[in-house]
Structure 1
Amino acid sequence: MALVLRFTQILEFLVAKGQATEMQLSHLIKVSQQTVKTVVLQINQELIDVVKIHYQQHVYRLEVLDFDELELLLAGGMKAAADFSSSEKRMAYIAKLLIDSGTYHLIDEMSDVLAVSRGTIQKDLKKLSLVVKSYHARLDSKPNRGVRLLASEVNKRLIFVNHVYDFYQYELGYDPKFFSLLDTLYDQLNLNAGQVTLLERELLFSIHRISQGYIIEEQIDNYINFASEQPNLLVFFSKLEDELKRNLTQYEQDFMAYPLNMNNNFPFDTRLLNKALIHRLINQITRDIFEDYPIQINRQALIDALQYHVTFLINRTVCHYQEKNIFFKSIQARYPFAYQLAQITRKSIWQVTDLMISDIELNTLAIYFELLLSKVRIDSPKQVALVASVGPAVRQVLSHQIQMIFGEEMAITMLTEEAVAQDFSEYIAVFTTIP
């Protein structure tokens, strides 16, 4: 199974980027560069009719031979073929068992079904416990009764979609009418491939859960459904209700629409923005930044720059939607100050929402800060202030030295010591002989 995961990680990265260095793939799958060569060779042998990875001057490039088959493989086809020698497959089986039943299950029973030792199951449960913890869920264990999963219905579905579905998608069988409804919806909404894949898997599993009597009965905290009034989606839900012969709660519809609310690439009503939450966040962010860095930040500019990004970022974090990591450590190295501001913002978001954003989101956030900082640099008047009680000759020497540092295009404003109480925010630097 480790090999299947490496196949998937390398192919997903090459699909996103087109090419990668040996070092990038080595960091990606956490093996040596020599092992990367071996894995790439295996990909070329196993998927000979699907892809070809070319290697030249320490760079790997992807050539796709069968786009449809590659899409199926990356959508979970490779994981579905894995066996129980894989810890991840065993964890998926255990999670599925606990989600489906909602009751306790004995470790010995799992051990017999999966044909592994009791100790191996306990190790798998320990790993699974860490996974579900990030969903505000936990594994409850009792002697002679076994283990059960304690989680909200929303988080049970998210755990299944994100960690189980790829392994057991082919066990979910549905009426062809449902797929016909889905195809119509995809065409009407003009969705991209990623949205289609995620929407299909979560809808299929949601319908499975609803048919079993499990209903979402609470609002999803900090999440906004921007598609709540989308006409085509409402028609789809109406037809789905007819097929299921039951009404869908607003909370169910909000959850089912979550793949449409992960990115700002779908028409949405800006009036649905949670202005109160955004303002609380921006206030916290500016306070936290100023505490570490005494720099002046235009609060409205920060709101304009971040309000949509932060809103969708929170949606992704709530739903544990993970963007592909195409930056690695290059963002931190290239934009160190913007990255530090992003780290402060991550802490601010956690303080306000109790949500911890991922390192991938941190990279994207740093880019937004760099863009904001770049705009400030471009828009700011290029001038410095010189406050000195000296004669004209000395002032001329000081001005010359300042221009040697900043360039001749820098405007220098001469001020007397009486000006020390004024607002210097319009200057990018102040030189003074006055204490």
Structure 2
Amino acid sequence: MALVNRWYRILEILVAQPNTSLEAMRKELGISMKTLLTSIEQLNDVLDEAVQIRQKTNRLYLEVYDYARLETILAGSLRKESDFNSSNKRASYLIKRLIQAVSPLLIDDLAEEIGVSRTTINKDLKHIKSLAKDYQIRLSGRPNRGLEMIGTELQLRLFYLHHVYSYFETDILTKEMYRFLKDLCRDYKIPRKTQELLIKVIAITVDRVQQKKLLTAPISYYVNELAESEMIEQLIYHVELTYQISLSQYEQDFLSFPFNIQYLDKLAYRPIERQEVENLYGKMIKQVKDTLLVDFDEKQLFFEMQTHFKFLLNRLIFHVQANDIFHGEIQNKYPLAFEMARVSSEELAAHFGYSLGLSEISYLALYFELVLHGNEGASYRQKHQIAVVCTTGRGTANMIKRQLRRVLGNEIEITQYSEEDFNPKLNDHYFAIFTTIPLKLEHLNSPVIQITHLFDDQWLREEWQRVSHYHRKNLKTITLKFSRLAKADSYKEYLMAMISELEQSALVDADFRRRILERERQQSTIFGNDVAFPHTINQLSTKTVLMLGILEEAYQTDKESLEFIFLLAIPSEIESQTEAELLDLYDDIFQIAGDKELKTALRQVKNQAEFVIFTKEKGVL
């Protein structure tokens, strides 16, 4: 990653998360800690005191005293100030020349223009070819004829938009146009970021139309819900009048896209139903269900997310991604929903040839989480019966009750006992028992929480989550099995060994083996992070069967590594209780897949008894 681009990535991450750990930043950039610290020091030297990155212990903080200055920097001022010693600026210049050229360009001529060697130009062109893949553009060159860039007009414009304007100013917009845009954006309260994108889009539209490089077809999957709005009509009229050009509906749609990639409060969107959008949504959901075998109300999901989905598709079409929301934490908090979003993103990436970033996947995951667990709020609103048992005085007991109610809210009803009053035989029916005397209550069926860090809110919430998790896991609808797997020559051999154990235990039907292999032929169930998740329907049992296989020796191929196989046999008919626990089970599997500490602990498990202990101690599976 070139230095200037690294600076911008650091700033973008800190704008999204102003308080970020050094390690998280290092992993995000894929560089060494020394390189990161040097880059931050260099960036601070370039920035003035209005914007600075501070380090306290192992965390980075973005301090901003002049937001106008920060916005100018984010708009590309540092890139524009760079020279041709920057490989990215050279690449930007070459893209500019190739897209604007009316005939092929010779490498020697380009090298002379920039003042670098032919070898350097060839390296830059290799980089450009890599960038162009995201836009389905190819760089074509023949000896004695020269280079030319080949792609659709839409993709050429987008390539220019995202890889040229950051480094070179535009002189197409007149002072009158700038004044008009300033008034328009003030009247409709258009965000600064959208304004900057709009200026670039107007400039490239005018330039290409004047060159007779026109859009000649509708933009697939694009939903322009502002086509008939007063604001867009004003904008189109002013552009046509100022530059004496005529904009077709296709050009108007392109010019409008900066307003159609996120919802802006002051704009009059008119909802449009597009069958191709619904069809694409259907393909995406089918892929999720086929891959994960999880069931949910897809109509309800579409109802909840259709506006977001339209804007998401628009962002994919125009290569603009949301990167300032929900960064990083959703994957840990909602593992199953995140995995569903990740599978969805792969389907969309295959369709558009452009991958979704972490923030986009995380945002999508929230909608899946909503449809998976949206109805659980009703059960949580039921009052949970809590007991407080302690040897201290009434004042301390009241303090404990107040703290519990303050942190846990109104979903609890608290009964207070002294040590002498509490009868284990009569009072063993509580959702949780908070106590200062846990050893005397260790044989109860009710979950017991020893009061050690009562005024640590985070500790209390974690303990409450653990208790809630215990109650969900105590539904007894899952059979757990465990096996250490001796070295084999293929993933299929490991699977066959595990299935044989399940067949010998009479836990799966005779056709289970065939269904697993059929799914594997359709799509590999090795999910990455050293984890495989083969799963299919089981006709034999009404319980879910989960078998964990830990490989004695990691299985390696050119593309992947494997240590843990979670083999899941799912009942063909699932009751609501079983379904709820199955969703929790999915969450746990994907939580383990993304948690190095849990996988380290799991590697130490040797047998079925230790596996059961692991599940109880770690609160998973």
TM range (shorter): 0.7 to 0.9
Deviation (angstroms), 1:281: 3.0
SS of the residue 2:271 aligns to? helix
Number of equivalenced pairs: 404
Question: What is the rounded CA distance, in whole Å, between the counterparts of 1:85 and 1:97 in structure 2?
Answer: 18
Match of 2:186 in 1: 187
Question: What is the rounded CA distance, in whole Å, between the counterparts of 2:580 and 2:46 in structure 1?
Answer: 65
Match of 1:146 in 2: 146
Q: Confirm whether residue 359 of structure 1 aligns to residue 357 of structure 2.
A: yes
Question: What is the rounded CA distance, in whole Å, between the counterparts of 1:423 and 1:288 in structure 2?
Answer: 21
Which consecutive unaligned segments of at least 5 residues does structure 1 have?
383-400, 413-419
Q: 2:26–2:36: 8 Å Cα contact kept in structure 1?
A: yes
Change (3 A) 1:364 1:133: same
Letter paired with 1:167: Y
SS of the residue 2:577 aligns to? coil
TM-score (normalizing by structure 1): 0.83
Question: What is the rounded CA distance, in whole Å, between the counterparts of 2:221 and 2:98 in structure 1?
Answer: 27
- Deviates most, 339-348 or 296-305: 339-348
Change (3 A) 1:305 1:428: farther
Deviation (angstroms), 1:70: 2.3
Letter paired with 2:114: L
Match of 2:457 in 1: none
Change (3 A) 1:67 1:408: closer
Match of 1:129 in 2: 129
Change (3 A) 1:281 1:379: farther
Give CA deviations for 1:383-419 in whole Å, capped at 9, x if unaligned: xxxxxxxxxxxxxxxxxx999996499999xxxxxxx
Letter paired with 1:8: Y
SS of the residue 2:127 aligns to? helix
Give CA deviations for 1:7-46 in whole Å, capped at 9, x if unaligned: 2222222223222211122123332223322222223333
Identity %, equivalent residues:
28
Q: 2:111–2:117: 8 Å Cα contact kept in structure 1?
A: yes
Give CA deviations for 1:295-350 in whole Å, capped at 9, x if unaligned: 32112212123322221111111100122266665443443211221122224435
Q: 1:104–1:146: 8 Å Cα contact kept in structure 2?
A: yes
Deviation (angstroms), 1:177: 0.8
Change (3 A) 1:321 1:146: same
Change (3 A) 1:408 1:129: closer
SS of the residue 2:167 aligns to? helix
Q: Confirm whether residue 257 of structure 1 aligns to residue 256 of structure 2.
A: yes
Letter paired with 2:49: D
Question: What is the rounded CA distance, in whole Å, between the counterparts of 2:580 and 2:37 in structure 1?
Answer: 55
TM-score (normalizing by structure 2): 0.59
Match of 2:7 in 1: 7
Change (3 A) 1:380 1:269: farther
Change (3 A) 1:402 1:338: farther
Match of 1:372 in 2: 371
- Greater Rg, structure 1 or structure 2? 2
Q: Confirm whether residue 82 of structure 1 aligns to residue 232 of structure 2.
A: no
Q: Confirm whether residue 53 of structure 1 aligns to residue 203 of structure 2.
A: no
Question: What is the rounded CA distance, in whole Å, between the counterparts of 1:294 and 1:153 in structure 2?
Answer: 41
Q: 2:134–2:354: 8 Å Cα contact kept in structure 1?
A: no
Change (3 A) 1:71 1:346: closer
Q: Confirm whether residue 320 of structure 1 aligns to residue 470 of structure 2.
A: no
Q: How is 1:209-358 mapped onto 2 (pairs within 5 angstroms)?
A: 209-266=208-265, 267-274=267-274, 276-324=275-323, 330-349=329-348, 353-358=351-356
Q: Confirm whether residue 66 of structure 1 aligns to residue 66 of structure 2.
A: yes
Change (3 A) 1:424 1:349: same
Which consecutive unaligned segments of at least 5 residues does structure 2 have?
382-443, 448-468, 477-541, 543-571, 582-621
Deviation (angstroms), 1:90: 1.1
More helix by share: 1
Match of 2:44 in 1: 44
| Structure of higher RCO (CA pairs closer than 8 Å, 6+ residues apart) | 1
Question: What is the rounded CA distance, in whole Å, between the counterparts of 1:350 and 1:19 in structure 2?
Answer: 30
Deviation (angstroms), 1:79: 0.3
Determine which of 422, 427, 430 is the counterpart of 2:577: 427
Letter paired with 1:316: R
Question: What is the rounded CA distance, in whole Å, between the counterparts of 1:296 and 1:336 in structure 2?
Answer: 16
Change (3 A) 1:411 1:172: same
Question: What is the rounded CA distance, in whole Å, between the counterparts of 2:579 and 2:154 in structure 1?
Answer: 52
